[in-house]
Amino acid sequence: MEIMLLRHGESEGNAQGRMQGRRDFPLSALGREQAARAGAFLVGQGPFAAVYTSPLKRAFETASVVAAQGVRPEPVVDEDLPEIGAGTLEGMDEAEIRAVHPIFMERHLTETGDFSDYGGESYADVQARLRRLMARLEARHRDAGDRLLLVGHGGFHYQLAKALLCEPVPRVCILKMGNCTASLLRLRVRRGLYMAELVFHVPVELMAGPALPASGEGAARLFR
């Protein structure tokens, strides 16, 4: 099985530098442009056995724009694909987080991805969710040649890729998931372990087409 991960295009929350989590921001105008660019790229990467998307607007809209570019089959919502829940941090920008929750900005890198102290998902919650997702995909898609497209979010996609690529799974792995980055993971049995290899990791800026305007996400890369 092969899994193509596509992060959503720039959202209004990205453009404002806000921690999104489950907060439901739509795509910005640039995000729709990025999604169209990604869709044109993905048409040449099919056929896909299935397309699954997070139900959150920024991902669902991205999947819809990709489908309009000719990527098939039509996207199906999967309730395990939303972004990591960030609890009370959701909707805040960096200045607001520093004012209300200053400790969050000073946490060690190994503590990122865990929002349980703020009423969001814990690291263990996220790992359980991605294992549940993978078990369901493996049960549905038993053909080794099936290529799936998952349209979702930087934080959750990062955790999913890390879990599939590494054994044991590290808490930290630097893999930038920019808006509309496409990552192809090929799962195979490696010395008795079912693991993935990263075939490619393509940011939207390297997909064919004229130069895109700079994203407003900028330094707010942690605020998914």
Helix residue ranges per DSSP H, 1-113: 12-15, 29-43, 57-68, 94-100, 102-106
**Which pLDDT does position 116 carry in this prediction?**
97
User: How far is it, in rounded angstroms, from Cα 51 to Cα 191?
Assistant: 30
Q: Mind telling me the catalytic residues?
A: 8, 83
> How distant is the alpha carbon of residue 46 from its chain centre?
19
pTM across the whole model: 0.94
Residues in CB range of 61: below 8 A, 6 or more apart: 8, 9, 26, 27, 31, 32, 35
In a domain, 113, yes or no: no
pLDDT digits (tens, 9 = 90+) for 90-149: 999 999 999 999 999 899 988 888 999 999 999 999 999 999 999 999 999 988 889 999
In a domain, 115, yes or no: no
In a domain, 112, yes or no: no
**Residues 113, 156 contacting (CB under 8 angstroms):** no
In a domain, 176, yes or no: yes
* Residue-number span of the structural domain to which 199 is assigned: 2-85+123-222
pLDDT digits (tens, 9 = 90+) for 42-87: 999 989 999 999 999 999 999 999 999 999 999 999 999 999 999 9
User: How far is it, in rounded angstroms, from Cα 14 to Cα 185?
Assistant: 26
Q: State the CATH number of the domain containing residue 75.
A: 3.40.50.1240
Q: How many domains does the chain have?
A: 1
In a domain, 98, yes or no: no
pLDDT digits (tens, 9 = 90+) for 142-182: 888 899 999 999 999 999 999 999 999 999 999 999 999 99
What are residue 49's phi and psi, to 5 degrees? Answer: -75, -30
In a domain, 209, yes or no: yes
Give the pLDDT band of residue 220 (cuts 50, 70, 90): very low
In a domain, 117, yes or no: no
Bridge partners of residue 27, in order along the sequence: 11
